[in-house]
Amino acid sequence: MRGRPVDSAGTRVWMDGFVVFLLFLSIYFLASLYTDLTGAWGQVVRKNFFGITGGGAVLLLLFILYCGIFHLLRKPVQDLTRQAVGTIVLYFCLEVVLFIGQGAWPLASSEWFNPGLLGRAIGGFLLKQTGVLGIVLAGLFGVFLSATLYGLIEPLDFVRWASAFRGTLQAGIRRFSEFWTAVFLRPARNLLLKIHTGLPANESTPSPSTDGAQPAETPEIVPFSPSYVEEELEDSLVLSVEEAPEQAEIQEEILLPDGVDPSAFPPPLELFGNEGITVNPVSDELIRNQGERIISTLEEFGVEAELAETITGPTVIQFRLQLAPGIKVSKVAGLSNDLAVALAVPALRVEAPIPGTTFVGIETPNPRRWIVPLRALLESTPFQRGDFDLPLPLGLTVDGVPLVMGLEDLPHLLVAGTTGSGKSVLVSSCIIGLCCARRPDELRLLLIDPKRVEMTLYEKLPHTLTPPVVDSKKAVHALGWAIREMERRYELFAGARVRHLKAYNRKVLPKDRLPHIVIVVDELADLMMTSPKEAEDYICRLAQMARATGIHLILATQRPSVNVVTGLIKANIPARVAFTLPSQADSRTIIDLSGAEKLLGKGDMLLLTSRYPKPLRVQGPWIDETRITAFIQHVLRVFGEPQHIDIDSDENGAWGEIAANLEDPLLEEAVSIILQTGIASASRLQRQLKIGFTRAARLIDTMEQLGMVGPQEASRPREILVDEDKAEEILRQAFSGGS
């Protein structure tokens, strides 16, 4: 490494003397503009120097004072050239402003605000060529350029501000539209229907028949002709004739359920406090010293490198090195312990190379870590933009950029970390992020907490399917219920001739839409110890097949051993997060690489996804338990008590699960139809009974649960397992058990 030539003492004295002379000269020039105490020379300076350069020259003199003082204090000015150019640009902008303002205010004619010959020349030229508007735009551009050169703003900040403003504007327009529809359009529409059809306003939309009787007379406003309905019944999932009028009403429903204040959801960010990201700046001298020490240590081991740039992140400072030709990257990676000793840091990570660059990254702990509250991620542009159906606020990257990813794209997540590493806080942040973005009718949560610690807080959350499952055996039953729900959804998709949840929900009535289901397991190890075979089979099957049905997994564990995170589970869950882990073996189990054992705890994590095939370092968010409680209380007031269901998979639980379907008056007639035709098909029942496909599929599911028909097997029809006598006996037992 080449050393910098050392200045001699004599040269330094002469330089200091010259700087002192410039300082006093600048002070004299400034004084000559504002006072008459500078004598004849001051008059000459005022007349000639300021007569040419104008009053804006004060900026240049102040900049000379600023640089001179820093030189005498032995503190070098950072980016001196950029700041000098920025000062000159700002000077020209001020000169043009002084030229335009001549005569506009009383003091404009004084020497202090004199634009000088230079200002008059530039201002006159611009005024003639571009007009007043051109001068204003040029001045704004000059101020922006000057602020950028000084490092006060970043050009990308304007893009972020514009995106945030667009998101806020869209949300405001949406809420106003909801208010307008609820207060004006819907009452006006009902009044017109009353006048047009002669029906009362509350009867303007007849309900479909539910008992197989003749449907009510169709009003004149039916949007579908009978021939169109008959054609669609044969080809795809459609409404029957008696259900068609209902679509005319529901298609114009507002986004939120009746009785819900549009301003109450999404929940206000004030629930999560007013704190922003706490950025604790690190001194440039410390960063420079560490960089020089890294270079010198590498040279001691025969590795020649140059420091390309440094990035200060929330948890670490990343030094990006450019290796000399012929130096192996693996050689730097093998020196991580030696570098940690040289820098006297507890842990050091080498990223070799940094993806997408030719640099090698040396990550050392930030002595002044940032605090990343969850609110900062919830109000960030990636979250507010609404690009994801199921957004997960994961944290800040090394360069301080908010990281938000969609669970539907992952499509499952595995989280591992020791106690106190931030694992449970990340899981809570994901739950809150999901519930902030989706209503209970759009998202349901199945929380499994064998530890009986983390999830009990969410018992009253309206998004939950059941109270948190704390018994390990019942947790396995809950996963079994998820398998059955997945299969039921695939049958619905087959009848609707769609491939995934989003397409299905676009095709059916709003009341028949299916919500996303997110299953959160904290702690996976307890589940694997109780029923390892069943748990692994259920998890693997869900991970393989459930994505299209809108069912997703978030699994968390403290013990990422190979008997807990098996090869099958890893293969089917590519998105994995590693917090601080005790050993390299555990790190390789989760992210297939070592490195998690060198993390710093308190939210410091490595993220591995299909988008980031090499682990990405992220600082996870923090949220206090009191903020979580406040959030739950808010959504509880908005949506009311959670509507829990029974998901037990034992015999009594099975009867309880289908009890509601046994009350369908068409069940016996549906059983009779499949026995007579020999075909157990939802579309057949839909045509025969003239009902919607969702109801027909529900009847087929009930028959399968009662043991009358077999499961769906690919494209083959269901097998009918009973005759008329057996079916009558099963129905008699079912009705008695349901009562």
pLDDT tens for 78-97 read 667 777 887 788 777 777 77
The pLDDT of residue 456 is 87
HEC letters along 114-167:
CCHHHHHHHHHHHHHHHHHHHHHHHHHHHHHHHHHHCCCCCHHHHHHHHHHHHH
654-696: per-residue pLDDT in tens?
444 455 567 678 888 899 998 888 888 888 888 888 887 778 8
Answer whether the bond into residue 411 is a cis peptide, omega within 30°: yes
124 to each of 48, 91, 128, 130, how far by Cα in Å?
20, 16, 6, 10
- Per-residue pLDDT band for 27 (boundaries 50, 70, 90) equals confident
**What is d(CA 350, CA 330) in angstroms, rounded to the nearest whole number?**
10
**What is d(CA 682, CA 492) in angstroms, rounded to the nearest whole number?**
9
Q: Which helix (H) or strand (E) holds 259?
A: none
The pLDDT of residue 245 is 34
Longest dimension (CA), the chain: 124
The pLDDT of residue 164 is 62
Phi-psi region of 395 (alpha: psi -120 to 50; beta: other; left: phi over 0): left
Asked if the model's pLDDT at residue 107 lies above 90, the reply is no
- Per-residue pLDDT band for 649 (boundaries 50, 70, 90) equals very low
Asked if the model's pLDDT at residue 631 lies above 80, the reply is yes
By DSSP bridging, strand 604-608 and strand 616-619 are antiparallel
CA dihedral 437, 379, 161, 82 (to 10 degrees): -140
The angle subtended at Cα 635 by Cα 630 and Cα 641, nearest 5°, is 115
For 244, the token pair is 């068609």
The pLDDT of residue 106 is 52
Q: Render 513-575 in DSSP notation, one character per residue.
A: PPPEEEEEEE-HHHHHHHSHHHHHHHHHHHHHHGGGGTEEEEEEES---TTTS-HHHHHH---
In order of their start, the domains of the chain are 9-153 (no CATH), 174-259 (no CATH), 374-639 (3.40.50.300), 651-738 (1.10.10.10)
HEC letters along 354-387:
CCCCCCEEEEEECCCCCECEHHHHHCCHHHHCCC
Classify 577 as helix, strand or coil. Answer: strand
537 to each of 325, 490, 541, how far by Cα in Å?
51, 19, 6
- Per-residue pLDDT band for 261 (boundaries 50, 70, 90) equals low
Asked if the model's pLDDT at residue 143 lies above 90, the reply is no
Q: Are the CB atoms for 622 and 377 separated by under 8 Å?
A: no
The pLDDT of residue 612 is 86
Closest by Cα among 251, 229, 248, 250 to 691: 229
51 to each of 31, 92, 114, how far by Cα in Å?
15, 15, 8
**More confident of the two residues 29 and 569:** 569
Point out the least confidently predicted range of 210-214, 264-268, 504-508, 717-721.
210-214
Q: Which helix (H) or strand (E) holds 227?
A: helix 226-235
> 289 forms bridges with which residues in the sheet?
none
For 159, the token pair is 């893009």
**What is d(CA 230, CA 233) in angstroms, rounded to the nearest whole number?**
5
In percent, how much of the chain has pLDDT > 70?
A: 76
The pLDDT of residue 608 is 92
By DSSP bridging, strand 443-448 and strand 516-522 are parallel
280-321: per-residue pLDDT in tens?
788 888 888 999 999 999 998 888 889 988 988 899 999 999
